[in-house]
Structure 1
Amino acid sequence: MLSCSVMRSIRLASIAVAASLLGACASGPAKPSAQVGALYGELDVAGKGYETALQQSREGDLQASQASLTRSLDRLKDASARCGNTAGCDPQRFFSTFDHLLRLKDGDFGGAQDLDSDVDPAQAAQAIAGKTGAASLPQAQRSVTLLHGQKLSQLIAMNGPVKAALEMWLTQWRPQLMDAYVNYQYMRYQMWPAYEKADLPEALLFGIMAKESGGKVHAVSRSGAAGPLQFMYATGMRFGLVSDDGFDTRFDPAASARANAEYMNEQLRIFNDNLELTIAAYNGGEGRIRRLVGDDTSVSFYDPRIYNDLSQETRDYVPAVLAAAWLFQHPDSYNLRFPRLDSVPGTITLKRPASLSELTVCLGSAGGMSDGWFRTLRNLNPRLDPQVSQPAGTMLQLPKVLEQAYASRCVDGPWPILASDLHKAVIPVVAAPVAKAPARSRGTKNYRVRRGDTLISIVRKLQCSSVQEIAEMNGIRHQHLRIGQQLKLPVCR
């Protein structure tokens, strides 16, 4: 394993290389010359030297690895800097080499740490308490779990669509990316074990979740897809996401991750480990992708025969998932810093009745969470209506860092009193205008909720209403049903 000083030198050198490469982009194209050829030769030698350093590190010859690494990186930095001032030198060639080296070292570990780790050492060293096997490894190593024997870096083509998606995640989508990272870290102990068991890369799980919901467990799309990984009702049923005592388990982080892992492995088998086609199937429907692909599972997702027949949503979705997965593995290489989080899971037993909303108020910004803890509390306790007070003695899931904050802020003193007062505030009721009945609806009928029912499944049976209409007719919040509950439904004709 390389020493900390070696790893720091590699990190600094990589940043310097990236900076010099960016500077080289300013030069314009010109006719190649002998001087340009010499620079390209230096580039090739630097790349080979880096490979030699990696091999020496794997063999345990750390002194020789350090010397080879220093020489190759010095050569690469010097050549890339001179490229910017040399007519005819192509900066893209240097970018390609840098990208190749980044992929080359991805997942190559000397001991428990890889060269130029993209995860902050303090964060990478944090393991889930009590876990063994892959779950106890540093995050950098877990994120490159092999996908059926292949490194994720070997499967992500850094082409135009993926590069464009990288730019979107680093600019317009950046707030969603950061929120997704925070949300995922606190749910990680619930979601990652299913992916680990299925031998799927953690980065892929994060990429799908970031694009689908941003890590919001109770997200519901206009098409009815639900949960952190946005399962449609029928697909969720196929993978065991059913109603459990009136709770739609698509909203359960652990259950949805397990179902997603099963789905991905099923489709990977069908598409012969073609990751892009598998991700396309998850978004656009496996039946459609199978019809387009036929028997040639080696065909590229970007082949015009496939790509041109897909919806724009799926064309954008696949590179967006891959780009988010890539950034999860290599944030530093793209000038991205994910926050350090103390995400060790914990529990509390309520000492006094309280809702999740009230707990959010009394916890405030404990643990440095400036945005408050509402989203995290909801994600970790998905079966609870956040507005409903839970009785004393109820056990709740939360980050361990909040256990002491709960004891000091939410049991006695002014904050729980304030939270309760705000929660019990009465809002004047204004009579809503009478809405026109749907064209196919006349009157109402009673319906008793059965085991397995969800609002979405009931609406599908009616075929003349919507989730919103039935929820409003019955005063239902957060789509929570109870077995035996009486509902008013429109009479369809």
Structure 2
Amino acid sequence: MNCRPHALVALVLAAYLALLPNTGTGAPRKAKSATTSATSTAAADFDRAAAEYRQGIQDLADGDEEARTQVDASLAQIKQVLERCGQEHGCDLGALMSRYTELLRFSAASAAGDEVVGEDEENQGEGVSRAFNPNVVGNGSQRSAAELLSERRAKFTEMVQFNPAIQAGIRKWLTDMRPALMNSYENYQYIRQYVAPAAEQHGLPEALMFGIMAKESNGKVHVSSRAGAAGPFQFMPATGRRFGLGNDGTGFDTRFDPRASSQAAAEYLAERMGELNRSIELALAAYNGGEGRALRVYKASSGANFWNQSVYDQFPAETKDYVPMVIAAAWIYLHPREYGVYFPRVSARPTTFRIDRPTSLYELTICLGNRGSRDGYFRALRNLNPRWEADSTIPAGSVLNGTTRIASLYRNYCRSGERAQLTQQLMKSQVRNAIVRVGNFKTVETGGVAVATDAGTSVSTPPAPTTYRVQTGETLNSVSRKFGCSVPQLARANALSTTSPLRVGQTLDITVCKDR
């Protein structure tokens, strides 16, 4: 991508030279108020054009080639502002130079694909996440997240800085759990468009919601636990139903929906905060260890702090670990640079795109590639389109949720061309087509794939199994993925609901699955 910082240099130099004849000794002096007014007007016009330029550059980075028109138009506006300032008595072009310098720095960093951090941002105090965040919810969400329940902010800060349990949690996130932290952050950026507004609506810090999600699911929308909890915020079936989550009548469990589960999680946490004296620790203990237990302990202890031994000892070991780990993740989210943490730059500006032919999320993952993302876009597609199983066939004409970059990559690589053809070939490939008997071989076409087989014979494949015995830790969701059918299909074939837990050794009818 050519961000053309040299064009900005030429513009500024030309305008600056145009100003020189008006600054000689014979030039009349304007009143200070007139000078200030002229400079302020020019600065305001420059800032508006620069904001459009920055947005255009970010859109280009996201893969939106149509943004070049916006970049060109904003550059023309900047030129006009500089030329006008150079020709107007009393307009101080030097006052625009700092703005120009920052814009030029932004252009160079964007062209190199680097993180753009202003000098003032580097020097900000606590509470502002300085990692790059795409224009999903807005910078205000980052600042509001830092408030951490306003009047309790100072107490929260002191608690984090001097609490050994939370310090130990920070250590865990920064050592063996650092990959999980990074994955959680990257996954979170795609669903932040749902989480941040829910947090703001219920007066909660966004950072706390991130911490819960990081600990519960690492931002993977389709996670299920052996105990039956499901979704990015791991709601149990009964608790989920209280907050509007569960089977929506189509066989889909809305606990897996990031928008619905974010709203439910924020509402649930706000409810716990309300009955536990706004205690972050006790609210988190309730989230993990049971609201009934947390409320009983709180009342019996006359409102004692979670870290009071008489309170702390009444919670299970899992909860004792959970509370400081969530707070630690929230703290790192707000203060990454203090710990040398540079979160990955994620292009997560949301949009939708329509598919031209039948496909699957697996197929899209291959043809999209991984430009702009270390691990590709499988997790983003899954998180943003939770109703589609990874290998389910999505009909042509369907509209999928994605990002501007995903939509651009789809247009460029998935509709047609060499990569699209290679992807289709990979999707048609089956292991069983590689198995042949020894003999005289000839090549036959099987489903569009060349297969070696005995001369005069046909490919022999073993009969597909009709049943499957459930293994440890498996769910309807994992079994359906294994054998290539949807959860509703598998559930109906076995007279189960889509949320039914499975028993180890249970026999399932898998005749409805295509990969059995």
TM-score normalised by structure 2 residue count: 0.61
- The equivalent of 1:177 in structure 2 is 181
- The equivalent of 2:311 in structure 1 is 306
Offset from partner CA, 1:107-147 (integer Å, 9 cap, x none): xxx99x944775337x36x533xxxxxx4334541321452
Q: Is the 8 A contact 1:119 1:139 kept in 2?
A: no
Q: Distance in 2 between matches of 1:389 and 1:447?
A: 16
- The equivalent of 2:345 in structure 1 is 340
Match of 1:120 among 130, 134, 142: 130
- The question of 1:423 aligning with 2:427 is answered yes
Q: Distance in 1 between matches of 2:397 and 2:357?
A: 8
Structure 1: which amino acid aligns with 2:306? F
Using the aligned pairs only, state the percent identity: 40
Q: Is the 8 A contact 2:361 2:378 kept in 1?
A: yes
- The equivalent of 2:165 in structure 1 is 161
Q: Is the 8 A contact 2:195 2:206 kept in 1?
A: no
Q: Distance in 1 between matches of 2:463 and 2:154?
A: 56
- The question of 1:282 aligning with 2:287 is answered yes
C-alpha spacing 1:218/1:467, structure 2 compared with 1 (3 Å):
farther
C-alpha spacing 1:475/1:173, structure 2 compared with 1 (3 Å):
farther
- The equivalent of 1:219 in structure 2 is 223
Q: Is the 8 A contact 2:354 2:400 kept in 1?
A: yes
Q: Is the 8 A contact 2:126 2:334 kept in 1?
A: no
C-alpha spacing 1:447/1:342, structure 2 compared with 1 (3 Å):
closer
Structure 1: which amino acid aligns with 2:337? D
Q: CA deviation at 1:454?
A: 3.8
Q: Distance in 2 between matches of 1:310 and 1:380?
A: 35
Structure 1: which amino acid aligns with 2:146? V
Residue correspondence of structure 1 range 207-286 to structure 2 within 5 A: 207-244=211-248, 245-286=250-291
Q: CA deviation at 1:307?
A: 1.5
- The equivalent of 2:331 in structure 1 is 326
- The equivalent of 2:153 in structure 1 is 151
Bigger Rg, structure 1 or 2: 2
Q: Is the 8 A contact 1:271 1:297 kept in 2?
A: no
- The equivalent of 2:356 in structure 1 is 351
Q: Distance in 1 between matches of 2:264 and 2:139?
A: 24
Q: Distance in 2 between matches of 1:232 and 1:339?
A: 31
SS across alignment from 1:387: coil
SS across alignment from 1:396: strand
SS across alignment from 2:407: helix
- The question of 1:473 aligning with 2:484 is answered no
SS across alignment from 2:152: coil
Match of 2:143 among 141, 152, 156: 141
Structure 2: which amino acid aligns with 1:401? R
- The equivalent of 2:299 in structure 1 is 294
Structure 2: which amino acid aligns with 1:162? I
Q: Distance in 2 between matches of 1:396 and 1:336?
A: 33
Q: Distance in 1 between matches of 2:213 and 2:241?
A: 19
C-alpha spacing 1:408/1:281, structure 2 compared with 1 (3 Å):
same
Structure 2: which amino acid aligns with 1:466? R
Q: Distance in 1 between matches of 2:235 and 2:189?
A: 21
Structure 1: which amino acid aligns with 2:509? M
Q: Distance in 2 between matches of 1:231 and 1:476?
A: 29
Offset from partner CA, 1:330-379 (integer Å, 9 cap, x none): 0001111112222111211001211110000001112x212111111000
Q: Distance in 1 between matches of 2:152 and 2:512?
A: 47
Q: Distance in 1 between matches of 2:512 and 2:503?
A: 13
Count of aligned positions: 342
Offset from partner CA, 1:463-489 (integer Å, 9 cap, x none): xx539847x434688xxxxxxxxxxxx
Q: Is the 8 A contact 2:141 2:196 kept in 1?
A: no
Q: Distance in 1 between matches of 2:497 and 2:154?
A: 37
- The equivalent of 1:50 in structure 2 is none
Q: Distance in 2 between matches of 1:116 and 1:281?
A: 28
Q: Distance in 2 between matches of 1:146 and 1:165?
A: 18
- The question of 1:406 aligning with 2:443 is answered no
Q: Distance in 1 between matches of 2:470 and 2:218?
A: 36
Q: Is the 8 A contact 1:118 1:333 kept in 2?
A: no
Task: Between 275-284 and 153-162, report the one with greater CA deviation.
Answer: 153-162
Q: Please list every run of 5 or more consecutive structure 1 residues that lacks an aligned counterpart in the other structure.
A: 1-109, 129-134, 439-445, 460-464, 478-493
